[in-house]
Amino acid sequence: MNTNTKDVEQLAGRHSLDAVVMPNKLTLKWGTLKGWNVKTPEALALLKAYHKEPVSYSVMMQRDTPNQKETLIKLIDLCDEIWLDWEGKQVSRDEAKEYVRTYGHNAPDQRPGATKL
Q: What is the mean pLDDT of the chain?
A: 80
Q: What is the distance, to the nearest Å, from the Cα of residue 25 to the centroid of all Cα atoms in its chain?
A: 7
Q: Does residue 34 form part of some domain? A: no
Residue 51 included in any domain: yes
> For the chain, how many structural domains are there in total?
1
Does the residue 112 lie in any domain? no
In a domain, 71, yes or no: yes
Q: Is residue 88 part of a domain?
A: yes
- What domain range is 89 assigned to? 39-105
Q: How many residues does the chain have?
A: 117
For the entire predicted model, the pTM comes to 0.70
Position 3 scores a pLDDT of 42
Residues whose CB is less than 8 angstroms from the CB of residue 34 and which lie 6 or more positions away in sequence, other chains included: 27, 28, 59, 85
- The pLDDT value recorded for residue 2 is 44
Give 116's pLDDT tier (boundaries 50, 70, 90): low
3-state secondary structure the chain: CCCCHHHHHHHHHHCCHHHCCCCCEEEEECCEEEEEECCCHHHHHHHHHHCCCCCCCCHHHCCCCHHHHHHHHHHHHCCCEEEECCCCEEECHHHHHHHHHHCCCCCCCCCCCCCCC
Amino acid at 61: M
Residue 24 has a pLDDT of 94
**pLDDT tens digit sequence for 22-48:** 689 999 999 999 999 999 999 999 999
Q: Using one digit for the tens of pLDDT, what is the confidence trace for 52-65?
A: 988 877 778 888 89
